């Protein structure tokens, strides 16, 4: 036996004994056994093929030759150098490269990685790679096919097999003027860019990009024309713990541009959504057009750079925590009285605080000063009008209509609305009737039982023109805040009259028949067509359980609603008394006495000049004299001239 089961070789023949005859058979057998043992040993020249495992115990191979085939052993030095992933310079064409790693691979497997140098040609589009003669598979950048120029000539690349049919590739050589391209960078949580400086970028294209993982938004700087841009249709939001602390652009010869939606074409007006640029600092841009925000009506800029010579706002500017809703510093009113509406908080009620039974033929002023209950046709609905305490936060009162008789059948000519009516001389700031006519925005709180579409209409009484806007009540018996913007009327020759007569109705519609709803809603100024006035209006009074409340009504110049302008009660009252005033006397007042042939006379001096000489009620006397400043009553002979408690002077618009 040449070897035992443990690999030990034993002498196949006993020791020779002196004087013993040795036969040729015995010697040949011994030599044959030795030959067999040597044959089964591993020869250094590799002539023997090992057919089983070789147990080395605590020993190791030394001086091992570097493997060159997939069936060769790998040396430690070769593994440390990762030489097996180096493929040298890529072969093939610009858009169909080949790689030849050593040792070669025999099949593709996810997780394999390779490093190579691009040839002297740059790809022109989608690119494939064939490795070790296997089939061609796609090179991809973050899951997308390569675009022209991404596999640049003579640059180093690394690829990792994502699947057996795609290789995800990245450029690993950054030197000289090479741009650093990050195709997908997610910044969230507490991630920050603080004091990061990237220099040596090339002079064309957009050199630095920060991409948003979900919104597709990014910031880029183009050295070729000194543009700094914020781009992304869904918006770039830098707030909370994600910080873009500052953008410092120095020694820029021309304008720096924040271009919100990436479209610099003329007339571009795409909206970005809600965008915040926190503490953006731009310095040294020269003396003109230092900062331009282009075509972004929704942009919110917090903190305009100090020391900036010029700030050009092509869209709306909203300053958080300060001035709000100003379309332009030179085109809208900043201070003073912005609200054209009288008694918008529904506090002043000189006539009464509640009136029941208001219905057909009851157009007029019943409870809240300056707010007219309007109707036409012969509507069936009857309401109680009240100064209610139900109101949203920030308000004490609301105008309430409680339906006590339902509309039933609404005839074609039926209309019910709440309106405020304006003198033309109060509206000259609208610039109505020429090319510079200004838009106005109406804002208000509404709470109603009936959900659905409601209409607010502006009617130009001087020129018989109108414009309407719809709003939606989404939840029953819930306070909802609404804003509606009405374009300026640029129709030449159609201004408001500059006098104290009725020029404009602002109507909040509640019920409308088909005479007013059968056309197309006039959402732009047009000559009055009844059918286009209130299209889509629900019947808000179709059930005796229905209520309608509104308060916080504001009408102002511009396309953005600002916070409600509160007035002190006495200021509000004085404004209302231009149109209606009461005597507020606790006792009857006697002026003069009865004398034969004498004259008895009583006079009432108004607190403010009224719109026109009023109609007076609640007085005793045979003759009355009124003007915008005062009213008097007198008679001659025998009786007293008396103003009774509750006397009123009415100069309302209708």
Please state, in angstroms and rounded to a whole number, the distance separating the CA atoms of residues 279 and 268.
26
pLDDT of 188 reads 45
Domain-wise residue ranges, the chain: 1-55, 78-171, 177-322, 354-576, 580-650
Nearest one of 600, 574, 584, 603 to 648, comparing CA atoms = 584
pLDDT band with cut points at 50, 70 and 90 for residue 63: confident
Q: How many residues does the chain have?
A: 654
- The token pair at 50 is 């090992």
pLDDT band with cut points at 50, 70 and 90 for residue 584: low
CA triplet 564, 567, 569: central angle to 5 degrees? Answer: 140
Question: Which stretches within 40-126 are classed as H helix?
Answer: 76-81
Output 26 or 193, whichever has higher pLDDT: 26
Please state, in angstroms and rounded to a whole number, the distance separating the CA atoms of residues 280 and 296.
17
Please state, in angstroms and rounded to a whole number, the distance separating the CA atoms of residues 296 and 313.
9
Please state, in angstroms and rounded to a whole number, the distance separating the CA atoms of residues 147 and 170.
13
534, pLDDT greater than 90: yes
Task: Give me the mean pLDDT over the 275-295 stretch.
Answer: 37
Please state, in angstroms and rounded to a whole number, the distance separating the CA atoms of residues 169 and 114.
10
Task: Give me the mean pLDDT over the 620-626 stretch.
Answer: 67
pLDDT band with cut points at 50, 70 and 90 for residue 451: very high
269, pLDDT greater than 50: no
109, pLDDT greater than 80: yes
Output 647 or 115, whichever has higher pLDDT: 115
pLDDT of 622 reads 58
pLDDT band with cut points at 50, 70 and 90 for residue 209: very low
Residues 6+ apart with CB under 8 A from 308: 282, 290, 291
pLDDT band with cut points at 50, 70 and 90 for residue 302: very low
600, pLDDT greater than 80: no
Task: Give me the mean pLDDT over the 575-588 stretch.
Answer: 77
Label residue 347 left, alpha or beta by phi (over 0 means left) and psi (-120 to 50 means alpha): alpha
pLDDT of 603 reads 74
Please state, in angstroms and rounded to a whole number, the distance separating the CA atoms of residues 639 and 566.
48
pLDDT of 266 reads 44
Q: Of 157-161, 193-197, 243-247, 642-646, which range is least confident?
A: 243-247
Assess contact for 610 and 649: CB atoms under 8 A.
yes
CB atoms within 10 A of CB 543: 12
pLDDT band with cut points at 50, 70 and 90 for residue 420: very high
Give, for 27, the enclosing helix (H) or strand (E): helix 24-39
Output 622 or 268, whichever has higher pLDDT: 622
Output 229 or 569, whichever has higher pLDDT: 569
Please state, in angstroms and rounded to a whole number, the distance separating the CA atoms of residues 633 and 641.
7
C-alpha distances in Å from residue 521, one per residue of 178, 401, 413, 450? 59, 25, 17, 21
* Total-model pTM: 0.54
591, pLDDT greater than 80: no
Return the SS3 of 95. coil
Residues of the chain with pLDDT > 90, as a percent, come to 46
pLDDT of 131 reads 93
CB atoms within 10 A of CB 143: 10
pLDDT band with cut points at 50, 70 and 90 for residue 482: very high
CATH value of 354-576 in 2.40.30.10, 3.30.360.10, 2.60.120.260, 2.40.50.100: 2.60.120.260
How many Å is the maximal CA-CA distance in the chain? 193
426, pLDDT greater than 70: yes
Assess contact for 99 and 132: CB atoms under 8 A.
yes
C-alpha distances in Å from residue 456, one per residue of 57, 274, 466, 467? 94, 27, 11, 9
CA triplet 148, 151, 156: central angle to 5 degrees? Answer: 160
pLDDT in tens, 82-92: 556 889 999 99
Residue 230: exposed, middle, or buried by beta-carbon count in 10 A (0-12, 13-18, 19+)?
Answer: buried
Assess contact for 325 and 559: CB atoms under 8 A.
no
Q: Is the torsion defined by CA of 13, 14, 16, 20 positive or negative?
A: negative
- The token pair at 91 is 């072969």
Q: Give the range with max mean pLDDT: 136-145, 330-339, 389-398.
A: 389-398
List, in sequence order, every beta strand (DSSP E) within 451-584: 452-460, 465-473, 480-486, 502-512, 526-527, 547-557, 580-582
- The token pair at 26 is 């015995």
415, pLDDT greater than 70: yes
Output 487 or 19, whichever has higher pLDDT: 487
Question: Which stretches within 535-623 are classed as H helix?
Answer: 569-576
Please state, in angstroms and rounded to a whole number, the distance separating the CA atoms of residues 78 and 161.
22
pLDDT of 199 reads 39
Return the SS3 of 74. coil
Q: Is the torsion defined by CA of 441, 446, 451, 455 positive or negative?
A: negative
Output 15 or 214, whichever has higher pLDDT: 15
pLDDT of 433 reads 94
Label residue 352 left, alpha or beta by phi (over 0 means left) and psi (-120 to 50 means alpha): beta
Please state, in angstroms and rounded to a whole number, the distance separating the CA atoms of residues 478 and 174.
61
261, pLDDT greater than 50: no
23, pLDDT greater than 90: no
pLDDT band with cut points at 50, 70 and 90 for residue 70: low
C-alpha distances in Å from residue 64, one per residue of 101, 131, 467? 20, 27, 92
pLDDT in tens, 346-399: 999 999 999 999 999 999 999 999 999 999 999 999 999 999 999 999 999 999
Q: Of 111-115, 182-186, 269-273, 417-421, which range is least confident?
A: 269-273
308, pLDDT greater than 60: no
Mean pLDDT for all residues in the chain? 76
Residues of the chain with pLDDT > 70, as a percent, come to 64
Strands 440-448 and 382-388: unpaired
Assess contact for 207 and 220: CB atoms under 8 A.
yes
Output 41 or 238, whichever has higher pLDDT: 41
C-alpha distances in Å from residue 186, one per residue of 49, 191, 198, 215, 621? 56, 9, 19, 11, 85
Q: Which residues on neighbouring strands pair with residue 186, listed in sequence order?
A: none
Nearest one of 279, 313, 282, 280 to 298, comparing CA atoms = 313
Output 384 or 630, whichever has higher pLDDT: 384
Q: Is the torsion defined by CA of 523, 525, 531, 534 positive or negative?
A: positive
51, pLDDT greater than 50: yes
pLDDT band with cut points at 50, 70 and 90 for residue 204: very low
């Amino acid at each position: 036996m040449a070897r035992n089961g443990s690999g030990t070789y034993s002498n196949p023949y006993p020791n020779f004994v002196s004087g013993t005859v040795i036969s040729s058979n015995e010697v040949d057998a011994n030599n044959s056994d030795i030959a067999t043992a040597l044959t089964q040993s591993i020869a250094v020249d590799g002539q023997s093929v090992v057919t089983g495992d070789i147990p080395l115990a605590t020993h190791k191979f030394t001086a091992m030759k570097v493997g060159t085939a997939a069936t060769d052993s790998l040396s430690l030095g070769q593994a440390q150098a990762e030489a097996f992933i180096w493929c040298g310079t890529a072969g093939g064409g610009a858009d169909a490269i080949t790689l030849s790693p050593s040792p070669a691979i025999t099949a593709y497997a996810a997780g394999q990685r390779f490093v190579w140098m691009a040839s002297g040609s740059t790809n022109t589009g989608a690119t494939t790679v064939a490795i070790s003669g296997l089939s061609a598979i796609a090179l991809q950048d973050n899951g997308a096919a390569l675009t022209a120029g991404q596999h640049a000539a003579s640059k180093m690349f690394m690829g990792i097999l994502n699947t057996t049919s795609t290789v995800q590739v990245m450029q690993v050589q950054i030197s000289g003027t090479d741009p650093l391209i990050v195709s997908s960078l997610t910044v969230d949580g507490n991630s920050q860019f603080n004091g990061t400086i990237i220099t040596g970028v090339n002079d064309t294209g957009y050199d630095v990009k920060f991409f948003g993982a979900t919104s597709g938004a990014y910031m880029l700087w183009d050295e070729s024309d000194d543009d700094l841009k914020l781009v992304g249709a869904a918006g770039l939001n830098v707030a909370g713990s994600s910080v873009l602390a500052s953008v410092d652009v120095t020694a820029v010869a021309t304008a720096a541009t924040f271009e919100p939606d990436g479209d610099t074409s003329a007339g571009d007006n795409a909206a970005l959504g809600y965008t915040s640029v926190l503490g953006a600092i731009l310095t040294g841009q020269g003396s003109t057009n230092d900062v331009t925000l282009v075509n972004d009506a929704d942009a919110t800029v917090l903190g305009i750079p100090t020391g900036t010579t010029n700030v050009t706002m092509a869209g709306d500017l909203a300053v958080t925590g300060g001035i709000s809703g100003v379309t332009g510093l030179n085109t809208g009113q900043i201070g003073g009285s912005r609200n054209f509406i009288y008694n918008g908080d529904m506090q002043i009620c000189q006539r009464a605080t509640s009136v029941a039974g208001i219905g057909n033929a009851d157009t007029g002023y019943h409870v809240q000063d300056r707010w007219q209950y309007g109707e036409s046709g012969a509507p069936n609905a009857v309401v109680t009008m009240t100064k209610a305490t139900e109101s949203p936060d920030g308000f004490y009162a609301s105008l309430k209509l409680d339906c006590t008789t339902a509309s039933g059948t609404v005839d074609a000519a039926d209309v019910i609305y709440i309106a405020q009516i304006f003198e033309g001389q109060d509206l000259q700031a609208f610039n109505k009737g020429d090319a510079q006519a200004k838009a106005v925005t109406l804002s208000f709180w509404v709470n109603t039982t009936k959900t659905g579409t409601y209409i607010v209409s502006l009617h130009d009484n001087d020129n018989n023109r109108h414009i309407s806007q719809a709003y939606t009540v989404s939840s029953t018996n819930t306070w909802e805040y609404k804003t509606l913007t009405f374009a300026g009327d640029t129709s030449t020759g159609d201004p408001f009259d500059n006098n104290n007569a009725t020029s404009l109705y602002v109507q909040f519609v509640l019920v409308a028949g088909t005479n007013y709803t059968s056309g197309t809603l006039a959402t732009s100024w047009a000559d009055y067509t009844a059918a286009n006035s209130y299209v889509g209006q629900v019947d808000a009074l179709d059930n005796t359980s229905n209520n309608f409340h509104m308060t916080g009504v504001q009408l102002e110049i511009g396309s953005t609603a600002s916070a409600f302008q509160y007035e002190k009660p006495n200021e509000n009252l004085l404004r209302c008394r231009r149109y209606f005033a009461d005597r507020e006397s606790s006792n009857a007042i006697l002026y003069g006495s009865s004398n034969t042939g004498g004259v008895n006379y009583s006079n009432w001096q108004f607190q403010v000049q009224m719109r026109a000489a009023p109609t007076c009620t609640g007085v005793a006397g045979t003759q009355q004299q009124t003007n915008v400043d005062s009213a008097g009553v007198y008679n001659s002979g025998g009786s007293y001239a008396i103003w009774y408690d509750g006397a009123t002077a009415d100069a309302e618009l209708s």
